[in-house]
Each structure stands twice: as C-alpha cells, then as structure tokens.
Structure 1
Amino acid sequence: MRVLHVLPSLSYKLGGPTQVALNIVRALRDVGIDAEIATTNDDEAGLLDVPIAQRVDYEGVPVWFFPRLARLKAFIPSMGLTRWMVNHLDKYDIVHNHYLFCYAPTVAGRLAQHRQIPYISSTIGQLTPWALQQSRFKKQIYGRFIERSILNRAAAIHCTTPAEAEDARRFGISSPTLILPLGVNPALIIADAAAKLRDRYSLPTNCKIILFLSRLHEKKRPDFLLRAFAQLAPQSHGYHLLLAGSGDANYCDRLKTLTNTLNIAHSVTFTGFVSGSDKDLLLQGSNLFALPSYSENFGIAVAEALGAGLPVVVTPEVQIATDISAAQAGLVISDDLDAWSNALSQLLCDPDLSTQLGHNGQQLAAAKYSWPAIAHKLSQSYDEILTGQPLSFASRS
C-alpha cells in the first residue's frame, strides 16, 4: 500500500503538526506501509535548505519538497508541487491531507476526487470555535465554496478526540470521522536531568521550574501564564518559568516587556525553539508543565509532558483534558487567573501530589499515546477504506 501525506510545510516553526506528520509517516513505515510526504520548502520567513523536486530522506522519512510560490500565512501555494501531483498522484493508493484552508491539501483533495483516489483529511484543530474566529471572513468564504465540499467527499476525517469530531459535525461535515489520538516518542533518559537543566540556565539547584513548551502565540496564552506566575511571588519562593518556543518577533518582544512590567524578568527565561535532546532535558528536568491555551485539538507537547512524567496544568480547551482528568494526571483549570495561580502553587508545594500525577500521566501516555499502536490502527483504517469495509475506529456520534 502506498500512501502520500500532503501538507503545506514541514517547518518546525509551525509547531506540533509538523512533528505529527513526520511521526505518523515514520510509524506507518515501521508497520510496513509505504508512506511518504509531499510538501514545500517553506520555513516561515525563510526556506528550508533541502533538495527540490526529488525524493529525499528527511529526518528518517521520505519527503518530496517543492519551492513555495509565496507565503500567505499557511496557504503557501506551490506550482511545482501542483505539477508533480498532477503527474504522480495516480501512483498512490490513498492520499492523507494535513491542514485546512490552505493550498496543498486543497489541490491534493481536488485531484484525488478527479482521479477517484480515496483521501483522508486531518483537521488538526482548525475547526474549533476559536480557530474559526481567526480570519473569520476568509474562512467562511473558503469553507463555503471549497473546504466543506472537499471534506464531505473525503473517505474519512481524522480527528484526535471526540470533541474534534463534534467540531467537524458543527462545521457541516458528514464524512465518517476516525477517532485516533496522536502519539509520543519515548525519550532517552537523561541522568541527573534536574541538575543539568538548572546548570544549563544558571539556576539555583533547589529552584522549582514551571515549563511552557509550545509556540509563543496568542492562542497558547503565554501572557496569561506570566500573569498567573507573577502572583506566586517567585523571587521569595525560588520558582522559575521557562518559556520554550519561538514566535513572531513583535509578540515575543511584548512578552518580554510584560515580564518587566510584572517585575518577574529575573524569574523567567525565554529559551527559544528547542528540539531533540534539548527538549528532552526540559521535559525531564522541570517540575511541572503548563499550557493555558484558548484552543488545542490534541496538544502534542502536553502528551510529551505526560510521557516524561510531568504533572500538567491545562485549560479545558485542550481537548485531551478529559483524558487527563480521568487518569488523574494533572489539573484542568478554567480561565481564571487566581485559580491558575493556586493550581501552580499547589503542585509546586506538594511534591507527593506532583509525583502521583506525573506517574499517572506516564501510564496514560504509554497506554493511549503510543505511535506503534496508532500506526497499526491507521493502517487498518486505510485497508478498510480500500476494501470498502466499515471503519473500526469511526466515531459513533
């Protein structure tokens, strides 16, 4: 079985969806599916330094890169990618699209319809009420004339949570919805991670660290976390907040100005974008993970924190919050500054509770967010689509 995954960019600056696409394809190949990726050389403000219009190994995954024509947010048109799909899409049994409201998956969906190739669309949280309010008018037009018809002709819509499937139904999608979560890769254990992390950022050995690991974006609300953190009186309690991620330069500057306004600049470190062993060190050496996001379809960084044994504090809008509550793997706190400050303080001051929540989170991640298990289920779904069988993991709502 040959499967082509299509998305507008593999830039890590776009956050979790890039990691997801690479991990899905890698896991599928491990279970015998001939999966690869077609995308552009987009790297937000720049371009990825990759070979063009040829199949290359990129982070252990076969990828076809094509030059972007322009960058209109995530739309990212590419004539080279279009021509290649016109000439090569027939070689694949299934097309799996990632992202909505953008060029590459739209073209792939239309071509797949024309060639009668079944395709799946992953909505990656872009149909949540919050997401649909961003660039609202453009999405309404695009949805009415393009996106909704593409999704309604898909063989299936891949959703990571039941809540995401409900979002698809509210958008007017009648295609079957597959409920398959995302996975986390087991990290190599770093000996003395806590001490090494504090040494890396020149922090006291007994300092307690709150970790924010995500894009620095208004949706993720690092500004809200800074205000909640400011109420902890970090200077007197030996707390430190690490904001790990990149974002728009102007927004990052506003966050740094806010730390000065709140008088917490001495207790906040902006690490910039991290990956690989640097990210593992953050996850294994911190005391807790916090993400007060307005909207999060799955939250791959949250799942990674669970896998690393970190207790988490999240908002209900993080759609795996239900799993977290059920497993007692963290605290799910509504949009209230005092409540968030109290939740952070509770975990920082109660090591026994933090340890228990972290242990529960590791068990949750191992049981539910395993890439090999997810790849087997997705492979089974592909086979069911090709043979016309009922989908085993379809939403029953």
Structure 2
Amino acid sequence: MKQLHIVQSIDAGFGGLGLAALRYAEAVAEAGAEVFLFVAVRGGGELQYGEASGRFSVIGASTILGGMSGSGFASQLRALLKFFENNQVDIVHVHGVWSPILAAATYMATSRGIRLVVSPHGCLEPWALGHRKFKKRIALALYQRRILKNSSMLIATAKQELESIRRLGVLNPVAVLPNGVDLNFSRVERSSGFPRNILFLSRVHPVKGVKDLILAWKKVRQPGWKIIIAGPDELGHTEELKALIRAEELELDFEFLGLVVGEKKERCFAEADLFVLPTYSENFGIAVAEALARGVPVITTTGAPWEELVVHDCGWWVRPGVEGISSALASAMSVSRSALAEMGERGMRLVEENYSWAKIGRSALGASEWVIAHNETPPFIDQVI
C-alpha cells in the first residue's frame, strides 16, 4: 500500500501537530506501507526523522520541482500536481484543516478517486473553533465541511475529539487512535536537588492556560519550588505572561527558556519533579505523554483527554482555571519524593503499554486497509449506522 501524507510543517517550533504527523507517517511505514510525507513549508529547524527501512521519505516543493522552486503556495501546488502525475497512491492523508494547500490536496485526491483520510489534530475542538471563529465559520461553509464529509475516514486521538467531530454533523467513519510517544529518547539521570521544578513544556499560547498557572501559583506557592516555562512563543504571549509575573511580584519563581529540543529538552524533564499543562483545549497532549514516559507525574486539565492520570494514579486531572490548578499544585507539592517517584513509575508503564508508536502504527495501517477493502471493521473505528 502506498500513502501520501501532507502537513504544513515539521519544524520544531510548529508545535505538536507537526511532530504527531511526522511520527504517525513514520509508524505507518514501519508497519509495512510505503509512505511519502509532503511538507508544505520546509525550514531549518525540522524534527529528525529516519528512513523506516526505505519505505518512508519526506518530500516538498524543492524535492519535486528542484532547488529553485520557491516556497509559496503556487510552488506547493505545482509540486503536488507533479507528484500525482508521477505517482500512484492508495490513500491521501491530510494532517490538519483550514490550510489552502491541504484543501487543494484533498481536491486532487478525491477528483482522482483516491481515498481521503483527515486528521484534524484538535482543530475542530470547541475552543479551537471559537478562536477566530468568523473566519472558520466561513471556511466551514465554503470548503472545509465538504472536505470532511468527502473523506473516507477521519482520525481522532481520543473519544473527546470524536465527539467534537460528530457535533459538526460529520457522520463519516472515525478511527480513534491516540498519538504515540517516541520511547527511544536519550535517558538522562534524574535530578533530586533544589530548587524543585514544576515544568511547563508546550507552545506559549493563550489556550495553554499559563496565565492560570501563574495566578494559581500565587495562591499556593511554596519555598524551594520553581516553575520552568519552556516552549516557543506565539502571538507575543510570553511578554504578556512576564508582565503578569512582574505585577504579582513572582519574578524569582519563574524561568522562561524558549524552545527546547534534544538534550536540552531531556534535561528539562530530568530536572522536573512535576509536569503541568493547564490547557483549555487539547486533542491529545503529546507533552503529557512525553512527561509520563520519562517518569514525571503530571497535572493537567479536563481540556485534555487524560482521565488515565487518575485511573492509573500517575497525576492530577482537574477542571481548567485557577481553582483547579491551584488545588492540584497544593496536593502535588504535599506528596513525598518517594511517592512522586512511584507515580512516575506507574506513568512510565502506562505509556509503554499503550502509547508506543509501533503499536499505533500497526493499528493505523489496519485502519487504512479497512478503508480500501472494507473487511472486518477494527474495534477502534466508530461508524454511524
């Protein structure tokens, strides 16, 4: 089976969508498919990727058209057209919504009778739809709803995202497949010194709830603890947060690191006693899974689909907002180091057993085969009868 996956970017600063799309495509290739990943905007900060036994390749406009192709929409469009002229694929899988190049790719696929799969990656969650909502209502009316309804299958990372898709009136089959976690990271010896660190590692964007974290911390702050904010800035939000920290006289309690990758990222996890993601909306929350994989107990909100934190006693799952986060922080900081370590061990087992990319790649390939052959329906595919 041959598949073409399409994503806007796999740059480290692009956030979890690019990482999830890259690792998903790699995993499907490892499971046995031949996979091309078309990246619309290539940059110098791209995430690392392997060759998946020669069945996986990353391509872009410059790969297809040559080095002088340019990087604009017209070049991307010409590159995709040339790809379809020269290659036969069974499935086109777009990662994300709204983008004009993704919309163009879906038209190219369906007009050629190629099966279309769409991974919204949280872009259809209520909070996301409410952000710049008038533009998105227009896009839904003009083209995006039609794309969703023309798809052979959609991918949701959790039941919560499935429900968001159904609320839009989209009745197409939906495979509920979580994102995976790369378990082949470099192990860094865990720190047990002072100060004790609470780590936030994600995009610094209003939806992530860092403002709530700051106000919650003011209510429950304890000596000997520090909050590390790591991740790329969006919309100038970092400066807004720093201004709030100064206004609340909390400068000594917070440190901003910006984008961290590689060894620096692993050091952040190794020095963290707790991980916090106070988000308002998350289709999966890859950073939660990354923290658990490294043995760090997690505080997150019901805006992320991580009830398993409570079920497996490896973290706190609370309502978004200052009250929920402050309550969880106070509870977590009262737990002994040894008890937190035991929670971390349970979190590692949870991820290793359920969120390896190898396991998810096999399920994803099975879903793709079902789209083509309509054989026995896998149990993780939701159909509206």
- Tell me the TM-score normalised to structure 1 length: 0.87
2:127 partner letter: W
Question: Does 1:59 pair with 2:49?
Answer: yes
What CA distance in whole angstroms lies between the structure 1 residues aligned with 2:258 and 2:8? 23
- CA 228–49 in structure 1, closer or farther in 2 if over 3 Å, else same: closer
Which residue is 2:220 aligned to?
232
One of 78, 81, 101 as aligned partner of 2:76? 81
**Residues 278, 321 of structure 2: 8 Å contact kept:** no
Structure 2 counterparts to residues 17-28 of structure 1, below 5 A: 17-28=17-28
- The reply to whether residue 313 of structure 1 matches residue 299 of structure 2 is yes
* Equivalence map 1:248-259=2 (5 Å): 248=234, 250-259=236-245
8 A Cα contact 1:77 1:103, kept in partner: no
1:332 aligns with 2:330: no
* Whole-angstrom distance in 2 between the partners of 1:292 and 1:49: 27
Q: TM-score, length-normalised on structure 2?
A: 0.90
Aligned-partner Cα distance in 2 for 1:247–1:60 = 28
Q: Is the 8 A contact 2:195 2:226 kept in 1?
A: yes
Answer whether contact 1:96 1:121 (CA < 8 A) is retained: yes
Q: 1:214 aligns with which of 189, 195, 202?
A: 202
2:164 is matched with: 167
**Structure 2 residue 329 is matched with structure 1 residue 344:** yes
**1:385–1:391 Cα contact (<8 Å) kept:** no
Aligned to 1:199: none
Match of 2:89 among 87, 92, 97: 92
Q: Map of 1:232-381 to 2, 5 A cutoff?
A: 232-234=220-222, 237-248=223-234, 250-319=236-305, 321-351=306-336, 352-381=338-367
Q: Identity over aligned residues, as a percent?
A: 28
Structure 1 unaligned segments of length 5 or more: list them: 51-56, 68-75, 196-204
**Equivalence for 1:388:** 374
C-alpha distance in 1, partners of 2:235/2:144?
Answer: 31
User: Following TM superposition, by how much is the alpha carbon of 1:40 offset from its aligned partner in structure 2, in angstroms?
Assistant: 2.1
Q: Specify whether residues 368 and 58 from structure 1 end up closer, same or farther in structure 2 by C-alpha distance, changes over 3 A only.
A: closer
| Equivalent residues of 2:11, 2:18 under 8 A apart | yes
Question: Equivalents in 2 of 1:49, 1:269: separation in Å?
Answer: 23
Q: 1:136-177 deviations in whole A, cap 9, x for unaligned?
A: 111111112211111111110000101111110101111100
Where in structure 2 are there 5+ consecutive unaligned residues?
52-56, 63-70
- Rounded to whole Å, the distance in 2 between the matches of 1:108 and 1:294 is 31
SS in 1 for 2:164: helix
Q: Give, in angstroms, the shift of residue 19 of structure 1.
A: 0.9
In structure 2, the partner of 1:121 is 118
Q: Deviations over 1:217-275 (max 9, x none)?
A: 000011111111222334xx111000010113632111111111111111211011011
The answer as to whether partners of 1:224 and 1:337 remain within 8 angstroms in 2 is yes
Partners of 2:48 and 2:256 lie apart in 1 by 28
Given that residues 203 and 234 in structure 2 are in contact (C-alpha distance below 8 angstroms), is that contact kept between their aligned partners in structure 1? no
Aligned to 1:71: none
- Relative distance call for 1:249 and 1:166 in structure 2 (3 A) is closer
Q: 1:32 — aligned with what?
A: 32
Give the partner amino acid of 2:277: L
Letter matched to residue 188 of structure 2: I
Q: Which one is further off, 160-169 or 31-40? A: 31-40
Amino acid at match of 1:342: S
Partner SS for 2:191 = helix
Alpha carbons 1:41, 1:48 under 8 Å: kept: no
User: Per-residue deviation at 1:292?
Assistant: 0.9
Structure 2 vs 1, CA of residues 313 and 148 (structure 1 numbering), >3 Å: closer, same or farther? same
Separation in structure 1 between the aligned mates of residue 31 and residue 218 of structure 2, nearest angstrom: 48
Give the partner amino acid of 1:308: R
